[in-house]
């Protein structure tokens, strides 16, 4: 019988003579983990890699360099200056336009399908609406409760947030979400158009009402970096899964 470990703290656990073949890990933290005598074969790892040493070689920098070589736009996400952030957002909108065009080649019902229990394409768009509402409209622009009813918070969110409608069963159309996304893109465009070097190095003014993110000041650089990174990563996931859905549809 397959064992499932959900929201379990296994910090300090020891595994010896254990067969993990065919296992599936999602949202798992392996900080300071030590693995000895490991047989890795046909293993697919997708995540943040820092300080990963395999057979004495720190492979993190090697992976980063190869990913940058494969896709030069990836370096644009690591924005530093005002112009960098503007270029990063221009790239984000350009890449998402191509991804949306890709999605439109598939039947609408297919875009609600999940691949390996990851978010469907539609759910991914819903989550990015939530991310923009939370980090840009709330944190940067000071709207205490900006959440669109079709926005989808991250799965691990446990606390109730005033004004947030968490409806994972909603099935909006691609066109409906495209309109909402465009309105959010326009907001970010406006923020970046008005961005100055001084503002980039400042901290946001906390909203007084509780919500998500928590009511505190955040470095503007962190906020903009968060939304840029969210858009980049989720577009990658979406393209990966669209390729699977495309194959299924055939």
Strand ranges inside 55-134, DSSP E: 57-58
Residue 134: CB atoms within 10 Å: 24
- Give me the pLDDT at residue 190, please: 97
pLDDT higher than 80, residue 155: no
Share of the chain above pLDDT 70, in %: 99
pLDDT digits (tens, 9 = 90+) for 50-60: 888 989 999 98
Higher pLDDT, 162 or 76: 76
Residues in Cβ contact with 163 at an 8 Å cutoff, skipping those fewer than 6 apart: 144, 145, 147, 211
pLDDT higher than 80, residue 2: no
Q: Where does the pLDDT of residue 10 fall: very low under 50, low under 70, confident under 90, or very high at 90 and above?
A: confident
- CA-nearest of 117, 143, 130 to 215 is 143
Pairwise CA distance, residues 71 & 95, whole Å: 12
Q: Where does the pLDDT of residue 202 fall: very low under 50, low under 70, confident under 90, or very high at 90 and above?
A: very high
Q: What Rg do the C-alpha atoms of the chain give, in angstroms? A: 20
**3-state SS assignment for residue 8:** coil
The DSSP letter of residue 57 is E
Q: How far is CA 100 from CA 95, 103, 122, 158, 248, in A?
A: 9, 5, 11, 31, 18
Structural domain boundaries in the chain: 78-249
pLDDT higher than 90, residue 17: no
**Torsions phi, psi for 221 (to 5 deg):** -60, -45
- Average pLDDT along the chain: 91
Burial 189-217 (b: 16+ CB within 10 A, else e): eebbeebeeeebeeebeebeeebbbeeee
- Give me the pLDDT at residue 73, please: 92
Question: Could you tell me how many helices (H) and strands (E) the chain has, helices first?
Answer: 7, 2
Q: What share of the chain is helix, strand, coil (3-state, %, to 5)?
A: 45, 0, 50
- Give me the pLDDT at residue 44, please: 85
**3-state SS assignment for residue 47:** coil
pLDDT higher than 90, residue 152: yes
Instruction: Please state which architecture CATH assigns to domain 78-249.
Output: Up-down Bundle (1.20)
Taking the model in full, what pTM does it have?
0.85
pLDDT digits (tens, 9 = 90+) for 76-105: 999 999 999 999 999 999 999 999 999 999
Partnered with residue 53 across adjacent β-strands are 58
């Amino acid at each position: 019988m397959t064992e499932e470990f959900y929201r379990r703290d296994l910090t300090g656990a020891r595994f010896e003579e254990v067969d993990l073949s065919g296992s599936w890990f999602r949202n798992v933290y392996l900080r300071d983990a030590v693995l000895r005598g490991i047989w890795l074969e046909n293993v697919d790892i997708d995540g943040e890699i820092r300080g990963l040493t395999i057979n004495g070689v720190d492979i993190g920098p090697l992976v980063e360099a190869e990913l940058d070589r494969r896709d030069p736009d990836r370096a644009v996400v690591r924005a530093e200056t005002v112009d960098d952030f503007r270029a990063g957002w221009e790239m984000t909108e350009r890449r998402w336009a191509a991804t949306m065009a890709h999605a439109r080649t598939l039947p609408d019902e297919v875009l609600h399908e999940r691949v390996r229990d990851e978010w469907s394409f539609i759910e991914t768009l819903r989550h990015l609406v939530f991310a923009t509402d939370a980090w840009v409209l709330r944190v940067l622009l000071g709207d205490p409760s900006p959440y669109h009813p079709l926005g989808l918070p991250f799965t691990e969110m446990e606390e109730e947030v005033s004004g947030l409608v968490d409806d994972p069963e909603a099935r909006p159309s691609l066109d409906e979400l495209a309109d909402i996304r465009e309105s959010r893109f326009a907001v970010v465009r406006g923020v970046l158009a008005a961005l100055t070097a001084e503002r980039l190095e400042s901290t946001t003014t906390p909203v007084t009402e509780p919500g998500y993110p928590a009511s505190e000041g955040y470095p503007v650089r962190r906020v903009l970096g968060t939304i840029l990174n969210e858009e980049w990563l989720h577009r990658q996931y979406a393209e990966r899964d669209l390729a699977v859905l495309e194959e299924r549809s055939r």
